[in-house]
Chain A
Amino acid sequence: MSDPAIRLHQLEKRYRGQREPAVRDLSLEIPRGEIVVLVGPSGCGKSTTLRLINRLIEPTSGRIELDGEDVTRADPDALRRRIGYVIQQVGLFPHMTVADNVATVPLMLGWDRARIAARVDELLELVGLDPAQYRGRYPKELSGGQSQRVGVARAMAADPPVLLMDEPFGAIDPITRERLQDELLRIQADVRKTIVMVTHDIDEAVKMGDRIALLREGAQIAQYDTPERILTAPADRFVADFIGSGALVRGLTLARVGDAELTPWPTVDAGGSAEEARASLRDSGRDAVLVLDEQRPLRWIAAGELGNGSRLQELGRPVGGVLTADVSLHDALNELIGSATGAAPVVDERGAYRGVVELRSLSAAVAAMRDGEGDRSPSQ
């Protein structure tokens, strides 16, 4: 990593009266424009690490660099105005309106009123809150999800290049949490901030992270890698245990059908005859043929069902679901398990048949992730 946004160098935090340091000799580089998730069991020092970055906690020793600049001894208040900060409890100021909350940092930076008002509306829009309806509300008039939206807007108010998020969705119900996660990813696709996020939920880490730093006690890095690699190639027993069971299956959520290699499958046109179907099957080594109606997958017919004389449209059974390139391999696996033939047809955006996905395609995709050839692997 030639030019990381944040570089932690041999960072250490010792608390008086505690034998073991909370953070021991931590060196970590956070690439620009990526989401890095710090994840680990409670008490591993992940939140402490986050607060060391904006120096809400002062390090005992070591160095913190932001954009190549040593900020270990810079004025902490000025430093924090350059870094957005979102916490689980949100911490909105209850005596200020939503607009005044969001305006906090711009106000400190001395922006003029018109610019602040415009920025507030822009941000509320960005996080999905109608400015006209919400800017004058007080925090107690917001739901948990709405509060955290305002929390995110407030953190992004002065357009800081770096955002720190400490379990931002930890106190929010699962459905809203998922929506907020999706929205943060959508926003991130636009703004490309450098985001360091803390969570104890490995699934959230896998979903949100471009990279995951899995920490053990003392903020020791057990593995620092892409989610694909963490799930398919855990570095050691600790990582494997933390991920829990079904890691590979969960890894399939990270790849799409479009990434997998499609396999050809014997097909026959719906207007064709049983003889044509048998011919198509003959050299393929498969035991079922896929009937296409004007390129659209229609039915599966097993070899044994191909009697004489019957029309193909009346034989076999209908194709259940078809997959498109943007379906996750996890959902594809679900189709495969339900399919009698062990294959699921894939169609393009016009619904025309392109090939099938088999269990083998999924294994190949997992192998590719393990080798670091996954979609989101580091570009170097």
Chain B
Amino acid sequence: MSAIAVQRPAARRIGWRIVVTPLLLAAVVGALALYLSGRDLDSIEQRNLSLDVIARALWVHVQLTAISTAIVIAIAVPLGILLTRPAARRIAPAIVGVANVGQAVPSIGVLALFAMVVGLGRGGVIFALVLYSLLSVLRNTMAGLEGIDRSVVEAARGMGMSKLRTLRKIELPLAVPVMLAGIRTALILNVGTVTLATFTLGAPPDGSGGLGELINSGLRLGRLDTVVLAGAVLTAVLALLVDWIAGLVETLLRPHGL
């Protein structure tokens, strides 16, 4: 049926402004590279800023962010759907309250806590990240579903759509924009928080602690205007890039007609 619909090409909905952010970020990275190559790096700096180390740090950082966000989506979206069903109305505030605690505690505290309880290593880091960013996705999933005009749901049910079909065809598509906004927030939170992972992952200076490792070891070694700077700038660029991609996905997945 939707073939009948007038489809606006996705490209036109996004426009030329789409290229501004990546160009700007590329310029920043280029400037950083230029600056560092112009400096006379000592052996410590050279070891910490080798292409090998930076690439691994970036890769670990992206991995940790992606895995933790995927787990958050897998938990928070179904949970949000369940908690907005009439049967769960009573217990919903309690569960949202628990998720609230996860975000209220400072992230380094959560990480440290889980480093003690679950132990050092990736598992602990991911566990803490999930706990920390769960709330934004959960809350937005619930808000997105609860924000749907009740008359739309009533019309659907009144025409004989089953509860499941109403959820699938009506409620979820209409909640998508708000849910995606929550996922975007979780992503950004996680990109930032992963910089703290280096404290629990331990840090052989090879990049396996993520971009936070650059900042951490740069601080310990007193290489502020080279190693720390590179770590900080790359983290910021990564965060903005992830935000840009998420924004793109939001635009593309937003249902027509809204």
Contacts and interface: CB of A to CB of B under 8 A. Distances in A.
A89 interface: yes
A365 B174 CA distance: 55
A91 B257 contact: no
Given A103-B1, A117-B4, A140-B257, A94 B152 contact: yes
A164 B158 CA distance: 10
A333 interface: no
Nearest to A138: B257
Nearest to A164: B158
Contacts of A88: 151
B258 A94 contact: yes
Contact of B159 (A135, A136, A154): A154
Interface string B170-186: 10011000000000000
A97 B257 contact: yes
B39 interface: no
B160 A96 contact: no
Contacts of A219: none
A80 B159 contact: yes
A353 interface: no
A105 B257 contact: no
Contact of B1 (A79, A113, A139, A164): A113
Interface in B148-200: 149, 151-162, 165, 169-170, 173-174
Contacts of A78: 160
A94 B165 CA distance: 16
A242 B158 CA distance: 30
Contacts of B257: 94-97, 138-140
Nearest to B7: A136
B151 A104 contact: no
Contact of B155 (A77, A85, A99): A85
A85 B152 CA distance: 12
A87 B1 contact: no
B147 to A, nearest CB: 12
Given A80-B159, A94-B257, A89 B5 contact: no
Contact of B4 (A80, A81, A91, A135): A135
B1 A92 contact: no
Contacts of B161: 77, 104, 108
Contacts of B174: 94-95
B160 A79 contact: yes
Contacts of A79: 160
A116 B3 CA distance: 13
A96 B169 CA distance: 10
A89 B149 contact: yes
Contacts of B159: 80-81, 85, 104-105, 108, 154-155
B176 to A, nearest CB: 9
B158 A95 contact: no
Interface residues of A, number: 40
B157 A99 contact: no
B43 interface: no
Contacts of B170: 93
B2 A85 contact: no
B256 interface: yes
B255 interface: yes
Contact of B154 (A87, A105, A116): A87
A325 interface: no
A34 interface: no
A187 interface: no
B151 A91 contact: yes
Contacts of A139: 257
A90 B155 contact: yes
A77 B165 CA distance: 11
A151 B5 CA distance: 18
Contact of A91 (B149, B165, B255): B149
B6 interface: yes
Given A77-B160, A80-B159, A100 B151 contact: no
A69 B26 CA distance: 71
Contacts of A103: 1
Interface string B235-258: 000000000000000000001111
A77 B161 CA distance: 6
Q: Which of B155, B165, B174 has the most CB of A within 10 A?
A: B155
B1 A100 contact: yes
Contact of A77 (B1, B2, B162, B256): B162
A76 to B, nearest CB: 8
Interface in A214-256: none
A85 B5 contact: no
A107 B159 CA distance: 12
A193 to B, nearest CB: 16
Interface string A129-143: 000000111111000
Contacts of B160: 77-82, 105, 108
B153 to A, nearest CB: 8
Contacts of A89: 149, 151
Given A77-B162, A97-B2, A92 B155 contact: yes
Given A90-B155, A93-B169, A108-B160, 17 more contacts: A77-B161, A82-B160, A85-B155, A87-B154, A87-B155, A91-B151, A92-B152, A93-B152, A95-B173, A95-B255, A96-B2, A96-B257, A97-B1, A100-B2, A104-B161, A117-B4, A154-B159
Interface of B: 1-2, 4-6, 149, 151-162, 165, 169-170, 173-174, 255-258
10 contacts: A91-B149, A92-B152, A93-B156, A99-B4, A100-B4, A100-B5, A104-B156, A104-B159, A105-B160, A164-B158
Closest 4 A/B residue pairs (Cβ): A91-B155, A138-B257, A81-B160, A80-B160
